[in-house]
């Protein structure tokens, strides 16, 4: 960085004590413990407001007419831009659509801001844009505003895309990571880790051939069908960066509950399992881009599974565990050998630039 | 870029014919002719929808209750991160607040997505975040959702910030670049080029000392006061990248009108004028981040100027010209020597990474 940056002209001061020795590291973008630490220490305290501090995938605003609006954003820095099953454009649109769906909103409109690298092939941009439009059409949203910046060669890897979205939450819905209750059932809508392994494969980092495709998909329609089938859905969350393990820990903290997972029930493709074993990864921590965790009152679990079975993105949905009382908000796993282990949040960073 | 990027896995195809020989260049991010060409050729055609194609600073959506919502986005890549009068955080919040104000919306909420460089001092991030919050408070908006990604050292210059915003447009308002009418008066709310020269100065590229500060400011309150003072405001637009000249050309094209400016009326600080003369810049093309162009029915021009005079950001507002009939949508300038010259859009790029 240029040395000017150490000269701050900013008069506003953040109420958070920080030392110059503390640096941003890749782990701050992992979605795991370090990301949460940064969010809690800096963003929640500086941007201090009750909407942000809920900690769900989108901020929920009360409209003057009594309705509710969801509003969310994500930047995308995935490398490479194209990978089996998707690309940065599809990822950007699906990620935003899914964040809206995860607070029970029906997505209405997106914006997109491109940071392009000087020298990028115009056809690469056109392919990404076409892919965004295709995903937007599937999700029944329009891209209503945008922005384009260009930075010097080397200052991105082709492009970064930031997308934001708004959606309308129908009256009476109250979906939040705060709402899990002891006795609730935890459903995962499909296999774990497909996206993470597909991106690694596209980078040539697997060291062997793999046919794993990213699961990147817009889930809004499937989620809407689930919410129409059951009024007992308490929590929705897509296990992206940090994977299923980190997402469940987030919910446990937000809701002040514990969880018990059944190891034998966790869905994983054999090819993903094989890649994980060779590379020493735990699929519980790998990113998914077309999956949801659904926490539902016990009596409606079957009803939700039935609704999911009608969607191409929910056919492999299974119950993976349940919510329990636990004052220290632990996520526990019953292993195949009947022992119990603690499933913690992701520490550090295992796969940078995955989304 | 890694070679994988030439292998597209995307099945969707853009309806725009492009050749592999065509590359993204810095001018595509200038806000001038090349930006407009990219937007018209690629984004409007691929994302094809009537809200985007209006071409205003924010997309305007009809709400189910008859209200209107404005939704906008911008990425910020300014270099350096801190400059006299502001920083990337203040710029991001003000840019988004102003884009909402320019369609007549009252800003309600923002989101922010950070792309951080590995190794960034945490105190630099904290200063930027504090500055964002300070600008958000002045503009009476909350930052309700966010995202953080981290990329490897060298892949940004400290950070990029993408902000998005939503605002509510009160019933009966119809502000758009399409609404300029022959006979309307063109008001500029203050001096030209302060932001551009302040950033150059912070880069050490002026070659001499300068006390010029960026004009970066949230204009929503001032604009709201103007709109309450007059119902004859037809167009609002902030002349950021590409400057006053490019912005007026945009409006002329959207409204199918011509414009005649009076060179002697164009407000410019002596220090900015001096810098422009030394560097060979025309201040008409320099970026402003705290100014608005207001096009208003002749009968209300004085009323608007009076409202502007009450704001710290509008004290130097002046009439710079008027809207005329012109089938070829030209912006003309009456010079001090009584001759007339054509004022075109910015061609190419004069100051990259200015916002």
Q: State residue B20's pLDDT score.
A: 67
Is A55 near chain B, with CB under 8 Å? no
Q: Are residues A165 and A191 located together in one domain of the fold?
A: no
Is A162 near chain B, with CB under 8 Å? yes
**How does pLDDT run across B325-335, given as a tens digit for each residue?**
999 999 999 99
Q: Are residues A329 and A191 located together in one domain of the fold?
A: yes
Chosen from B73, B115, B352 to mutate, greatest number of chain A CBs within 10 A: B73
The answer to the question of residue B226 being in a domain is yes
The ranges of chain B with pLDDT < 70 are 1-14, 20, 65
The answer to the question of residue B99 being in a domain is yes
Q: Are residues B71 and B137 located together in one domain of the fold?
A: yes
Q: Are residues B149 and B262 located together in one domain of the fold?
A: no
In order of A91, B8, B46, B139, the CA distances from A134 in angstroms are 12, 15, 9, 36
Domain count, chain A: 2
The answer to the question of residue B45 being in a domain is no
* pLDDT surpassing 60 at residue A10: no
Q: Are residues B305 and B223 located together in one domain of the fold?
A: yes
Q: State residue B4's pLDDT score.
A: 35
**Closest by Cβ to A8, choosing from B82, B116, B147:** B82
* Residue-wise DSSP of A285-333: GS--SS--EEEE-GGGHHHHHHHHHTSTTTTT-EEEEEEE--TT--EEE
Out of A110, A143, A169, pick the residue that ends a domain. A169
Q: Identify the band that residue A12 occupies on the pLDDT scale cut at 50, 70 and 90.
A: low
Q: Are residues A157 and A223 located together in one domain of the fold?
A: no
Range of the structural domain that residue A157 is part of: 56-169
Out of B169, B195, B229, pick the residue that ends a domain. B169
What average pLDDT does range A52-70 have in this prediction? 89
Question: What count of Cα atoms within 13 Å lies in the side-chain half-sphere of residue A198?
Answer: 27
The answer to the question of residue A197 being in a domain is yes
* Residue-wise DSSP of B15-69: SS---TT-B--GGGGSSSHHHHHHIIIIIHHHS--HHHHT--SSEEEE-TTS-EE
Out of B169, B194, B213, pick the residue that ends a domain. B169
Distance from A76 to chain B by nearest Cα, in Å?
8
Is B145 near chain A, with CB under 8 Å? yes
Is A54 near chain B, with CB under 8 Å? no
Q: State residue B173's pLDDT score.
A: 94
* DSSP-based three-state secondary structure for A119: coil
Q: Are residues B165 and B190 located together in one domain of the fold?
A: no
Establish, for the pair of chains A and B, how many residue pairs have beta carbons separated by less than 8 Å.
393
* pLDDT surpassing 90 at residue A18: no
The answer to the question of residue A102 being in a domain is yes
Q: Are residues B190 and B164 located together in one domain of the fold?
A: no
Contacts of B23 in chain A (CB under 8 A): 118-122
Task: Determine whether the interchain pair A19/B122 forms a contact, defined as Cβ–Cβ distance below 8 Å.
Answer: yes
* pLDDT surpassing 90 at residue A14: no
The answer to the question of residue A22 being in a domain is no
Is A67 near chain B, with CB under 8 Å? yes
Which letter does DSSP use for residue A218 in this model? Answer: -
Q: Are residues A189 and A335 located together in one domain of the fold?
A: yes
Distance from A133 to chain B by nearest Cα, in Å?
6
**How does pLDDT run across A66-119, given as a tens digit for each residue?**
779 999 999 999 999 999 999 999 999 999 999 999 999 999 999 999 999 999
Given a contact cutoff of 8 angstroms between Cβ atoms, the answer to whether B162 and B75 are in contact is: yes
Give the domain CATH number at A267. Answer: 3.90.650.10
pTM of structure: 0.95
Q: Are residues A62 and A134 located together in one domain of the fold?
A: yes
**How does pLDDT run across A308-345, given as a tens digit for each residue?**
999 999 999 999 999 999 999 999 999 988 899 999 99
The answer to the question of residue B232 being in a domain is yes
Q: Are residues A258 and A115 located together in one domain of the fold?
A: no
Q: Identify the band that residue A268 occupies on the pLDDT scale cut at 50, 70 and 90.
A: very high
Q: Are residues B285 and B189 located together in one domain of the fold?
A: yes
Q: State residue B12's pLDDT score.
A: 66
The answer to the question of residue B44 being in a domain is no
Q: What ipTM does this complex have?
A: 0.95
Give the domain CATH number at A145. Answer: 3.30.1330.10
Is B73 near chain A, with CB under 8 Å? yes
């Amino acid at each position: 960085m240029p040395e000017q940056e150490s000269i701050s002209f900013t008069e506003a001061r953040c109420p958070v004590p920080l030392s110059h020795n503390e640096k941003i590291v890749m782990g701050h973008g992992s979605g795991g413990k370090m990301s949460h630490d940064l969010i809690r220490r800096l963003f929640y305290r500086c941007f201090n407001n009750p909407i942000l501090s809920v900690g769900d995938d989108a901020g929920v605003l009360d409209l003057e007419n009594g309705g509710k609006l969801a509003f969310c954003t994500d930047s995308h820095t995935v490398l490479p831009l194209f990978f089996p099953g998707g690309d940065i454009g599809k990822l950007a649109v699906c990620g935003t659509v899914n964040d809206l769906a995860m607070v029970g909103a029906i997505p209405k409109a997106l914006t997109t801001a491109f940071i392009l690298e000087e020298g990028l092939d115009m056809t690469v941009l056109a392919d990404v844009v076409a892919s965004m439009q295709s995903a937007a059409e599937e999700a029944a949203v329009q891209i209503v505003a945008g922005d384009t910046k260009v930075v010097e060669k080397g200052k991105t890897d082709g492009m970064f895309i930031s997308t934001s979205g708004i959606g309308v939450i129908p009256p009476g819905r109250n979906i939040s990571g705060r709402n899990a209750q002891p006795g609730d059932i935890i459903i995962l809508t499909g296999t774990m880790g497909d996206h993470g392994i597909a991106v690694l494969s596209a980078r040539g980092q697997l060291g062997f051939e793999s046919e794993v495709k990213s699961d990147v998909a817009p889930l809004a329609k499937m989620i809407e069908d689930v919410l129409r089938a059951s009024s007992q859905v308490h929590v929705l969350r897509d296990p992206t960066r940090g994977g299923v393990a980190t997402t469940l820990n987030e919910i446990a903290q937000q809701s002040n509950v514990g969880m018990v997972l059944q190891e034998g029930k966790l869905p994983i493709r054999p090819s993903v399992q094989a890649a994980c074993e060779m590379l020493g990864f735990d699929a519980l921590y790998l990113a998914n881009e077309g999956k949801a965790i659904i926490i539902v009152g016990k009596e409606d679990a079957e009803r939700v599974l039935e609704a999911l079975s009608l969607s191409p993105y929910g056919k492999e949905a299974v119950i993976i565990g349940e919510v329990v009382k636990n004052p220290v908000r632990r996520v526990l796993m019953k292993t195949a050998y009947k022992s119990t282990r603690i499933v913690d949040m992701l520490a550090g960073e295992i796969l940078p630039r995955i989304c």
